[in-house]
């Protein structure tokens, strides 16, 4: 043995020998079992030879020879081998059963893991499906709210109703904590009209439109703030997210619809959270609806104004007068006097024949301007037809009405009518006066009494004021 090589322990040598001898037996079960039997037999022989069991048995069996016990060692040896074989077979079967159970256990564990994965995938699919259902439900509610808003806006009668409806539904559709509506005025600044949340007060700072990014770009402007950067839009200061949408009409930018999220919102963190694109589209839909109906209202008012306004003089016509009487509920309070003055230009046909219709139109315009300067803001003045004008004096009794009628007649008579630089004849007018409820209890009857007084003034020589009570 080399001097530097350590001596291996005997037990280690035995294990190496057993592994060497056992190598051919691996995978060959019958040969392996036979080897075990021989090993047990050799083991029994080794124990019996070391303990002299055979000699002791022979000595003891000679004492009981008549019982033929000398054959027992051989029988016990065979029985021992049989028991050893039986025990080995049982141990082998148990090993196989354990191996099978181990495989079954491994299979069950694998199946359990696969089921857990499947359940996890199923839970994920269910969560995504529930999220999708909630999202679609939220979108359906928003679309329904937009439709309801549009239906109400169609029947809105004035700008106040339009803005009220728009703000009410904007709060439902856009899940932001604050918002406001701004309108252009003086062609330069944005004026706060209405709002909610932190922007509800009317003292919110106004701004010149050049500071508003939405109006500068002519499209929706969104700003999401982070701790590391400041806002570009001054209205976004102190907020988490801001959306500004220009309200566009065919005549240009009418105003701005502003949405602002001041603090984290449970609704924004919910499974139905909307991304910026969806929020911008919804905001634009609201602003487009608002702009469309504001312009529609403008067109309706324009048409109404044109239908109620005399195109030549710019004052009310007969239709406009009747509409105002109905809207303001005039002639419904017998305790409040109201007087009607019916004016007519004297000899207007001869004036037209002499100076031409252009001069006649100029005379009508000058008369309407002259009378408009002599009446109060609450009085109603209209061109009743042709060269006839009607003046309705609210809260005015008969005596005051006659005085004011005379003042108007004198002012017209003293006014020098000119067409360009050429002076024309002085105009004169005749006026009939009637008062509610003293002379009539309805609008139609009141005008009829004033018209009768006007004709009386014409019959008496024109250029005079006649009370209907004195007219025959």
pTM of structure: 0.57
Q: Which residues of 63-88 are buried (b: 16+ CB within 10 A; e: fewer)?
A: eeeeeeeeeeeeeeeeeeeeebeeee
How far apart (Å, rounded) are the C-alpha atoms in residues 35 and 22? 9
In this predicted model, which residue has the larger pLDDT, 275 or 384? Answer: 384
The pairing of strands 418-419 and 422-423 is antiparallel
Determine which helix (DSSP H) or strand (DSSP E) holds 190, and give its type and residue range. strand 189-196
* Pairing between β-strand 465-467 and β-strand 429-436 as defined by DSSP bridges: parallel
Distance (Å, rounded) from C-alpha 347 to C-alpha 425? 11
Separation CA 440–CA 331 (nearest Å):
10
Q: What is the mean pLDDT of the chain?
A: 80
Cβ neighbours for 382, distance < 8 A, ≥ 6 positions apart:
310, 315, 316, 317, 318, 320, 321, 389, 390
Cis peptide preceding 434, ω within 30 of 0: no
Mean of pLDDT values over 290-307: 85
**Paired residues of 382 in beta bridges:** 316, 390
d(CA 168, CA 343): 49
Looking at 38-47, 340-349, 396-405, which range is the least confident one? 38-47
Q: What percent of the chain has pLDDT over 90?
A: 24
pLDDT confidence of residue 381: 95
**Considering only CA atoms, which of 352, 357, 345 is closest in space to residue 312?**
357
Residue 37 pLDDT greater than 70, yes or no: no
Task: Indicate the pLDDT class of residue 272, thresholds 50, 70 and 90.
Answer: very low
Per-residue pLDDT averaged across 244-253, rounded?
Answer: 88
In angstroms, rounded to a whole number, what is the distance separating the alpha carbons of residues 138 and 143?
9
- Per-residue pLDDT at 328: 82
Model pLDDT, residue 271: 42
Query: For the CA atoms of 326, 331, 336, 338, what is the dihedral angle to 10 degrees?
Result: 100
Q: Band the pLDDT of 412: cuts 50, 70, 90.
A: very high
Compute the half-sphere exposure of residue 198: CA atoms within 13 Å on the CB side of its CA.
Answer: 15
Calculate mean pLDDT across residues 15-43. Answer: 61
Based on its alpha-carbon atoms, the radius of gyration of the chain, rounded to whole angstroms, reads 56
Residue with tokens 């269910």: 126
For tokens 């139609």, name the residue. 444
- 292 exposed, middle or buried (CB, 10 Å; 0-12, 13-18, 19+)? middle
For the stretch 363-402, pLDDT in tens is 999 999 999 999 998 999 999 999 999 999 999 999 999 9
User: 198-236, pLDDT tens digit by residue?
Assistant: 888 765 556 655 567 888 888 888 888 776 666 677 666
In the numeric block, which tokens belong to residue 467?
């009370």
Compute the C-alpha angle 242/245/246, nearest 5°. Answer: 145
Asked whether residue 268 carries a pLDDT value surpassing 50, the answer given is no
| pLDDT confidence bin for 267, thresholds 50/70/90 | very low
What is the pLDDT at residue 324? 85
């Amino acid at each position: 043995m080399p001097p530097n090589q350590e001596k291996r322990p005997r037990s280690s040598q035995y294990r190496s020998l057993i592994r060497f001898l056992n190598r051919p037996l691996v995978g060959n079960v019958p040969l392996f079992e036979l080897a075990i039997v021989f090993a047990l037999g050799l083991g029994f022989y080794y124990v019996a030879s070391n303990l002299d069991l055979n000699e002791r048995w022979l000595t003891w069996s000679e004492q009981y020879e008549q019982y033929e016990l000398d054959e027992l060692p051989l029988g016990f040896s065979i029985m021992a081998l049989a028991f050893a074989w039986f025990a080995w077979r049982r141990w082998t079967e148990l090993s196989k059963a354990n191996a099978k159970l181990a495989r079954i256990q491994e299979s069950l564990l694998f199946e359990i893991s696969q089921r857990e994965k499947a359940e996890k995938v199923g839970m994920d699919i269910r969560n995504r499906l529930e999220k999708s259902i909630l999202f679609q439900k939220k979108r359906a509610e928003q679309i329904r709210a937009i439709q309801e808003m549009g239906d109400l806006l169609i029947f809105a009668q004035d700008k106040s109703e339009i803005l009220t409806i728009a703000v009410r539904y904007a709060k439902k559709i856009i899940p932001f904590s604050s918002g406001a509506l701004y309108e252009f005025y003086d062609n330069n600044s944005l004026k706060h009209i209405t709002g909610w949340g932190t922007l509800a007060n009317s003292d919110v700072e106004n701004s010149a439109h050049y500071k508003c990014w939405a109006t500068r770009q002519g499209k929706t402007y969104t700003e999401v703030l982070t701790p590391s950067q400041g806002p570009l839009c001054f209205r976004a200061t102190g907020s988490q997210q801001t959306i500004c949408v220009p309200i566009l009409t065919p005549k240009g930018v009418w105003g701005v619809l502003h949405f602002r999220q001041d603090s984290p919102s449970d609704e924004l963190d919910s499974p139905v959270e909307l991304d910026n694109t969806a929020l911008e589209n919804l905001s634009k839909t609201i602003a487009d609806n608002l702009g469309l109906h504001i312009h529609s209202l403008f067109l309706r008012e324009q048409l109404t104004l044109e239908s109620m306004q005399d195109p030549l003089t710019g004052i009310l016509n007969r239709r406009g007068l009747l509409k105002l009487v109905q809207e303001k509920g005039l002639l419904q309070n017998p305790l409040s006097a109201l007087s009607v003055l019916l004016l007519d230009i004297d000899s207007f046909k001869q004036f037209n024949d002499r100076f031409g219709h252009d001069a006649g139109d100029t005379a009508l315009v000058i008369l309407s301007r002259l009378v408009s300067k002599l009446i109060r803001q609450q009085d109603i003045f209209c061109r009743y037809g042709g060269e006839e004008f009607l003046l309705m004096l609210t809260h005015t009794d008969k005596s005051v009405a006659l005085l004011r009628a005379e003042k108007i007649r004198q002012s017209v008579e003293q006014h020098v009518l000119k067409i360009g630089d050429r002076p024309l004849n002085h105009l004169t007018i005749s006026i009939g006066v009637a008062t509610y409820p003293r002379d009539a209890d309805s609008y139609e009857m009141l005008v009829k009494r004033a018209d009768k007084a006007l004709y009386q003034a014409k019959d008496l020589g024109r250029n005079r004021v006649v009370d209907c009570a004195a007219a025959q």
